[in-house]
Amino acid sequence: MTQRIAIIGSGPSGCFLAQALRRDWPQAEIDIIERLPVPYGLLRHGVAADHQGTKAVSRQFDRLFEREGVRFWGDVGIGRDVTLEALRGLYDAVFLALGLSGDRRLGISGDDLPGVHGSGWVTRWLNSHPDEAGRVPALGARVVVIGNGNVALDLARMLSKDEAELAGSDLDPDHAAVLSAVREVTVAGRGAPEAARFDVAMIKEFGRLAGTRISVPPADGPAPEDAPSAARLAALRALDGAGGGDRRLGFRFNLVPEAVLGTERVEAVRFRDRRSGAVEEIPADTVLTAIGFEPGPAEALHRAACGLPPGVALPPELSPGLYAAGWFRRGPRGTIPEARAEARLVADAARAALATATGAKPGREGLAALLRERGVEPVGFADWLRIRAAEEAAASAGRVRRKGATRDALLALCRELAEA
């Protein structure tokens, strides 16, 4: 008996889930279906372009496709090329590992002004996501980043690096040119510095920015008693006065955003100090929000199609044979390593159902026939390897790759190389 399994989404959650299911079911037919021509989701398009060590996790996922019999079906969109209902008819179990692509809004006056962008959109643009091709933000000289977590740090760091400091990244040189216009970055959070959700290691990265002068306000409360908060505060305080040059980066705390100000586009953000009640306006040409994620249009559509309520955590099993995983299931919480543990939980939830699968469903043969009938030519893993090699060969000086920026460009790469 062969269990036939489909996973929709090739990001960390989908790939960790494939690993867990492969360990449980060595003979299972496991297919990962991805709407983009390229795999790895958040690793490719959501991790900061200068954090190549984190992106390298994708190499362990390569083994799924190269050695463990998992098949990659790229450029196959659910709803565009095949329906979820059709997939459920082809496979014993279907897992939704779609992630979350929507940015949570500030919910204050002016948060829809031109020049207000969510961190998810900006990060995808910085990572040359095909969905964002052709959209270039006009950042201006002054950027306010609103958020008290690692995503806010990622944005602030990328905005503060010069060309030499971007060496070893995969940031497109054209995007780097847009960032070079920024001269002043303010990171504003509503919490106290010791309560910020910053990793100490990420705070310390700012100490290596030679061309940016950093300011951190003095601590004005009692010293934190717990070791993690004390270490976080010490790391922040050590940054005050670091760096040099004409670019500036300031950390601000205890500031609650009340309104984004401007007429035709952003001009400033009005904050209220949550301790004193004092009001302050910080000038800004652009506001970047790093306050969390929510279902984007595609994920919301899938939730609605499955009869699922918006904005709430889901159980692993949605209905017989249909499961949810990753951020799509539990919301935007957890790191990439935590996604591995969550994948184990979801795989366990499907154990009983997969144990009783009859093997009668057509699985990948049925999917291949359906796509042929509809004239859809999926991108396989060998095609992806050709794309990856071409991107690495096209890298400019100081970069590790130059990504294909549009779906058509990516498809052209793999088709041309396949015919060569």
Q: What is the CATH number of the domain that holds 191?
A: 3.50.50.60
Res 418: pLDDT: 61
Give me the pLDDT at residue 217, please. Answer: 94
Name the domain boundary from 243, 264, 291: 291
End position of a domain, from candidates 291, 313, 333: 291
Spatial separation of the C-alpha atoms in residues 386 and 28, rounded to whole Å: 27
Does residue 175 form part of some domain?
A: yes
* 197 lies in the same domain as 122: yes
What residues pair up with 248 in beta bridges, in sequence order? Answer: 184, 213
At residue 1, the pLDDT reads 77
Q: Quote the CA–CA distance of 328 and 333 in Å, as a whole number.
A: 10
Q: With a cut of 70, which residues of the chain have pLDDT below it?
A: 305, 311, 417-420
Beta pairing, strands 322-324 & 317-319? antiparallel
Residue 414: per-residue pLDDT: 82
| Domain interval for residue 135 | 103-291
Q: What pLDDT score was predicted for residue 383?
A: 96
Q: Which residues contact 313 (CB under 8 A, 6 or more apart)?
A: 329, 330, 331
CATH number at residue 375: 3.40.50.720
Q: Say yes or no: 285 and 307 in one domain.
A: no
pTM here? Answer: 0.94
Pairing of strands 266-273, 255-262: antiparallel
| CA separation for the pair 183, 160 (Å, rounded) | 8
Instruction: For residue 323, tell me if it sits in a domain.
Output: yes
Sheet holding 255-262, edge to edge: 255-262, 266-273, 279-283
Instruction: Select from 261, 276, 291 the last residue of a domain.
Output: 291
Q: Is the same domain home to 78 and 144?
A: no
Domain count of the fold of the chain? 2
Domain co-membership, 310 together with 255 = no
Residues 174 and 274 in one domain: yes
Q: Return the pLDDT at 395.
A: 96
Task: Answer yes or no: do 127 and 97 share one domain.
Answer: no
Residue 403 falls within a domain, yes or no? no
Give the 3-state secondary structure percentages of the chain, helix then strand then coil, rounded to 5. Answer: 40, 20, 40
pLDDT at 419: 63
Domain-located, residue 55: yes
